[in-house]
């Protein structure tokens, strides 16, 4: 939180509820991250890493987009199909949202 945020929060007690709601929505939207667009070469590299992990039963770390932020999950691949992969800890990730993969 910056000094400007502190000043804004301080003055919200004297604002109309509609204005406070509008400010809260504006602050929430500023925290959203956009999903980056991956090039074809990076997609091919990630598919190769997935195949390496499957064939050698390796642990992977996956960074993915969840609609507003980037999350990272770690585990072994349990199931993989055209649209989704599942880790051994039951985390399901849509393949279209995968941003990066690291193999241990």
Please check the confidence at residue 103 and state whether its pLDDT lies above 80.
Answer: yes
Please check the confidence at residue 9 and state whether its pLDDT lies above 70.
Answer: no
Mean of pLDDT values over 77-85:
90
Whole-model pTM? 0.68
pLDDT, tens only, 11-37: 656 677 787 788 777 776 667 788 889
Which among 46, 56, 54, 41 has a CA at the least distance from the CA of 101?
Answer: 46
How far apart are the two ends of the chain, measured CA to CA in Å? 36
Please check the confidence at residue 64 and state whether its pLDDT lies above 80.
Answer: yes
The whole-number pLDDT of residue 23 equals 78
């Amino acid at each position: 939180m910056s000094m400007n945020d502190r000043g804004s929060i301080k003055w919200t007690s004297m604002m109309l509820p509609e204005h406070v709601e509008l400010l809260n929505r504006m602050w929430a939207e500023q925290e959203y991250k956009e999903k980056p667009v991956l090039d074809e070469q990076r997609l091919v590299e990630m598919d190769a890493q997935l195949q390496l992990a499957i064939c050698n039963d390796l642990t992977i770390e996956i960074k993915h987009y969840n609609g507003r932020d980037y999350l990272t999950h770690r585990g072994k691949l349990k199931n993989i199909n055209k649209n989704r992969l599942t880790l051994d800890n039951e985390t399901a990730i849509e393949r279209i949202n995968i941003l990066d993969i690291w193999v241990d």
